[in-house]
Amino acid sequence: MTGPLRAAPMPVRGRKRYRFHSSVTFGFLGFCCLVQRAQSSMGQEEARLYDRNLQHFSPEGRIYQVQYAELAARRGNPVVAVSNNQDALALCVERRRASALEEPGVAWEKLGEVQQGTYMGFAGLAADGRRLLDRTRLFAENYRLKNAELPGVKDIAYFIGDLQHRNTFVRAQRPYGVSCVVGGVDTASSSRTIGKLHARPCIYATEPSGVVQEYRAVCVGEHAEIITGRLEAHAGELAKMRAGQLARFGARVLWDVREGEDKQGAPAKVQGRTDAEGGLKCLEVLVLRRMKREGAAEGEEGWCWKRLLVKDVGEIEALERILDD
């Protein structure tokens, strides 16, 4: 009887050849893995190099530190500015305090006076915003002493933009993590061309990259896209609004968006209002309007600012009655 069929044993020479090809294959695969790992580490190191560098663009055409500064500005409390381009302008900003133990003061101020008739608001890092505000005040004072007149709103806005742009390429400095809004009336520059009575209120916004743009209505900071969409939906109505209507419109848009965020389960840092200055959460509204001065001759008008703090929807709705009556 014949036993079960078995495969013939592999010749010794064939076994050696099989082992040789296997070792070559595994060696090649290992080499490929090492090359891929080296390329990956080189790519990460290159990304980190561009991430820390302000003097060079990345291969994608980006400057990462500027993008990080823009992200910091988008996380700040929003600032809303609206104007009718004729005789009124309103700046609205949210004030928030982390604790009832904090005293109201500079730490939570988001709107500051640059000079008489010109204010600046900012969203982002408060320390950076105060630094820009101080340097802008110094620029305005030097300009007044040198030229015997106040600088225009455009001059101030472009000075802020130049400061922000300079910090995007200077070594050993980081970009300012704030977006700024400058509002006022160009009485100085307008008086040389078309007269003071025809001067109109102006709104300029600057970005951490140094970009400066004029707007009729603008929002910077957190939820800027949502608020800007609501402003654009009523863009045709802004020219017909008076000072009180502009203040009520800007404050109501800002209040509704922020209250909607808190109701949707976002981490509301503050709840309740405990003191006479608006408690832990309130809106600060600055209104610029043209009005006749006391004792002025017929047809002679001037510009004045009025600052208001509102704590609830009822006070927001009363802005129109308070300012336009």
d(CA 278, CA 212): 32
Are residues 196 and 185 in contact, defined by beta-carbon separation less than 8 angstroms? no
Single-letter residue type at 90: A
Burial of 165 (0-12, 13-18, 19+ CB in 10 A): buried
Residues 6 or more apart in contact with residue 182 via CB below 8 angstroms = 114, 118, 119, 120, 153, 156, 157, 160, 202, 203, 204, 205, 206
- C-alpha gyration radius of the chain: 31
pLDDT at site 273: 41
pLDDT at site 74: 93
pTM, rounded to two decimals = 0.76
pLDDT at site 119: 93
Three-class SS state of 273: coil
- Its sign, for the CA torsion 114, 199, 205, 310, is positive
d(CA 157, CA 204): 6
Secondary structure letter of residue 10 according to DSSP: P
Give, for all 325 residues of the chain, the pLDDT tens digit.
455 555 455 554 444 444 545 555 555 566 566 656 655 554 455 556 666 666 677 777 778 888 899 999 999 889 999 999 888 999 999 877 766 777 665 556 788 999 988 999 999 998 999 999 999 999 999 999 999 989 999 999 999 999 999 998 887 788 999 999 999 987 644 434 434 445 789 999 999 999 999 999 999 999 999 999 999 999 889 988 999 899 999 999 999 887 775 454 444 343 334 443 444 578 889 998 887 655 555 545 678 888 888 888 888 888 888 887 6
Q: What are phi and psi of 110, to 5 degrees?
A: -115, -5
Three-class SS state of 309: strand
Q: Tell me how many helices (H) and strands (E) the chain has.
A: 9, 10
pLDDT at site 304: 84
CATH class, domain 67-324, is alpha beta
d(CA 323, CA 224): 26
d(CA 45, CA 14): 47
